[in-house]
């Protein structure tokens, strides 16, 4: 049985899609024994210890954004994936609630853009949190329709990604959140990328039956800059493939607080999220009570305390949801947008498109666009 996932891919033809379907399957559930769990694993022939640069970020700077001292981070690379880095939950205990509240309450606010804007007026989507907080306290199933927060599928920040043209542009830009910019700068500096400039963000909101289709993130104009990803809430399986769909991907768990960095030769690899899974004991929201163990906020801290009331709403939402944030630098130093989308982006977009899909859609071949309401089914 343990060989199941490996045996699936021997035939070669779109090995990625085969493994995506393998891990997405509900009945019978797949064998998860090939999935790497960095929260438990030790370096091996596949899992490599990663060297970080603790001198790039002082302990105080790290703590201001809610991170442990860099020397304490558990960071790994993967054999065969140069430039890929996995950091197993480097957050300080008690700082998750701040970042989770930013993702659920603050970042969905205007002027940021979300999937609900595609078919609702700005006045209807300007207080997603306020309109959802009460509904979320009522047991699920006893109420209809779902709250706006439960229908949220994506939010874009900074240079707002255009799902139709698969481009960013100078004329659709709003200020990138300063706190998330600081967090991204600290993490990338520790990983050997000083001067990273967070310019665009995509937040993906997953319910327990959501998935994210196979795609490459290539719309950014400077691929020498890393792509940063971090997750909160429920766990997921992340598949990291190669430059071709025939390359069989490696499966790994992503738990709450985990971070990934895709850079260098791993910057443009196929990847996907076939499945959301319940967070294992020790990784659930109830283990992250706000501020119980955060010392009084130091000067210049971006991490603030979260009210009990807000945290209650967050934990209820996260009982069945996952949030992922990807942060991207779009332009290289001194670079500006071309007048029209580059030929590369136009011709390659269809081949590399990812998409969110709800349970069951993959099998039916239905690939809705990101812009449509509840399904978050998207093209990345």
Binding residues for ligand OGA, rule: CB under 6 A, are 202, 204, 212, 217, 229, 231, 238, 254, 271, 273, 324, 326, 380
CA distance 152 to 232: 15
Cβ neighbours of residue 372 closer than 8 Å, sequence gap 6 or more: 115, 118, 119
Q: Residue 200: name its binding partner from Mn ion, ligand OGA, none (Cβ under 5 to 8 Å by kind).
A: none
Nearer CB in complex with ligand OGA: 186/271: 271
Nearer CB in complex with ligand OGA: 213/290: 213
Q: How far is the CB of 219 from Mn ion (least distance, A)?
A: 10
Q: How far is the CB of 90 from ligand OGA (least distance, A)?
A: 17
Q: How far is the CB of 215 from Mn ion (least distance, A)?
A: 6
Q: How far is the CB of 217 from Mn ion (least distance, A)?
A: 4
Q: Residue 238: name its binding partner from ligand OGA, Mn ion, none (Cβ under 5 to 8 Å by kind).
A: ligand OGA
Instruction: Say how many C-beta atoms besides its own lie within 10 A of residue 281's C-beta.
Output: 8
Q: Residue 176: name its binding partner from ligand OGA, Mn ion, none (Cβ under 5 to 8 Å by kind).
A: none
Q: How many residues bind Mn ion (CB under 5 A)?
A: 1
Nearer CB in complex with ligand OGA: 95/380: 380
Q: How far is the CB of 321 from ligand OGA (least distance, A)?
A: 12
Q: Residue 204: name its binding partner from Mn ion, ligand OGA, none (Cβ under 5 to 8 Å by kind).
A: ligand OGA
Residue sitting closest to ligand OGA (CB):
324
Supply the Cα-derived Rg of the chain in whole angstroms: 20
CA distance 90 to 52: 13
Q: Please report, for residues 161, 273, 341, 368, the alpha-carbon distance to residue 164 in angstroms, rounded to integers and kept in the order given.
A: 9, 21, 12, 12
Nearer CB in complex with ligand OGA: 63/202: 202
Q: How far is the CB of 212 from Mn ion (least distance, A)?
A: 7
Nearer CB in complex with ligand OGA: 73/253: 253
Helix axes 128-137, 308-318, angle to 10 degrees: 70
Cβ neighbours of residue 84 closer than 8 Å, sequence gap 6 or more: 77, 78, 240, 260, 261, 262, 263, 266, 269
Query: How are strands ordered across the β-sheet holding 211-215?
Result: 250-254, 235-240, 271-277, 211-215, 356-357
Q: Please report, for residues 17, 146, 164, 270, 347, the alpha-carbon distance to residue 248 in angstroms, rounded to integers and kept in the order given.
A: 9, 38, 29, 10, 24
Q: How far is the CB of 157 from Mn ion (least distance, A)?
A: 15
Q: How far is the CB of 354 from Mn ion (least distance, A)?
A: 6
Q: Residue 212: name its binding partner from Mn ion, ligand OGA, none (Cβ under 5 to 8 Å by kind).
A: ligand OGA
Site for Mn ion in 206-225 (CB under 5 A): 217
Q: Residue 180: name its binding partner from Mn ion, ligand OGA, none (Cβ under 5 to 8 Å by kind).
A: none
- Strand, coil or helix: what is 201? strand
Q: Residue 99: exposed, middle, or buried by beta-carbon count in 10 A (0-12, 13-18, 19+)? A: buried
Nearer CB in complex with ligand OGA: 64/76: 76
- Strand, coil or helix: what is 265? helix
Q: Residue 95: name its binding partner from Mn ion, ligand OGA, none (Cβ under 5 to 8 Å by kind).
A: none
Nearer CB in complex with Mn ion: 180/302: 180
Closest CA to 314 of 92, 99, 91, 139: 99
Instruction: Summarize the chain as % helix, strand, coil (round to 5).
Output: 25, 20, 55
Q: How far is the CB of 253 from Mn ion (least distance, A)?
A: 17
Nearer CB in complex with ligand OGA: 17/64: 17
Nearer CB in complex with Mn ion: 73/270: 270
E strand spans, 5-127: 47-49, 74-78, 84-88, 113-114
The residue ranges that bind Mn ion (CB under 5 A) are 217
């Amino acid at each position: 049985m343990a060989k199941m996932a490996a045996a699936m891919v021997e035939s070669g033809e779109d090995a990625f899609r085969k493994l995506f379907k393998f891990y997405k399957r509900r009945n019978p559930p797949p064998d998860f024994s090939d999935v790497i769990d960095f929260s438990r694993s030790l370096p091996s022939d596949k899992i490599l210890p990663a060297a970080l640069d603790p001198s790039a970020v002082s302990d105080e700077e790290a703590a201001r954004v809610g991170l442990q001292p860099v020397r304490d981070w558990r960071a790994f690379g993967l054999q065969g994936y140069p430039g890929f880095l996995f950091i197993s939950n480097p957050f300080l205990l008690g700082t998750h609630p701040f970042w989770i509240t930013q993702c659920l309450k603050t970042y969905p606010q205007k002027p940021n853009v979300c999937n609900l804007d595609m078919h609702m007026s700005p006045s209807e989507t300007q207080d997603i949190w306020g309109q959802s907080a009460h509904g979320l306290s009522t047991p699920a199933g006893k109420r209809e329709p779902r709250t706006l927060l439960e229908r949220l599928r994506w939010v874009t920040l900074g240079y707002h990604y255009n799902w139709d043209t698969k481009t960013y542009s100078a004329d659709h830009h709003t200020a990138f959140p300063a706190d998330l910019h600081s967090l991204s700068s600290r993490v990338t500096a520790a990983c050997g990328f000083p001067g990273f400039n967070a310019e665009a963000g995509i937040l993906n909101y997953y319910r327990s039956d959501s998935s994210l289709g196979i795609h490459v993130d290539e719309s950014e104009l400077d691929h020498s800059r890393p792509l940063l990803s971090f997750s909160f809430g429920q766990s997921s399986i992340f598949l990291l493939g190669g430059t071709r769909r025939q390359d069989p991907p490696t499966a790994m768990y992503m738990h709450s607080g985990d971070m990934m960095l895709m850079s260098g030769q791993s910057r443009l690899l196929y990847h996907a999220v076939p499945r959301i899974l319940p967070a294992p004991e020790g990784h659930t929201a109830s283990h992250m009570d706000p501020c119980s163990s955060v010392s009084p906020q130091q000067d210049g801290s971006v991490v603030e305390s979260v009210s009990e009331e807000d945290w209650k709403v967050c934990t209820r939402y996260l009982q069945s949801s996952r949030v992922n944030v990807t942060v991207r630098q779009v332009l290289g130093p001194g670079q500006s947008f071309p007048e029209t989308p580059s030929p590369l982006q136009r011709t390659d977009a269809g081949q590399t498109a990812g998409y969110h899909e709800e349970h069951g859609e993959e099998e039916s071949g239905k690939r809705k666009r990101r812009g449509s309401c509840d399904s978050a089914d998207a093209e990345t």
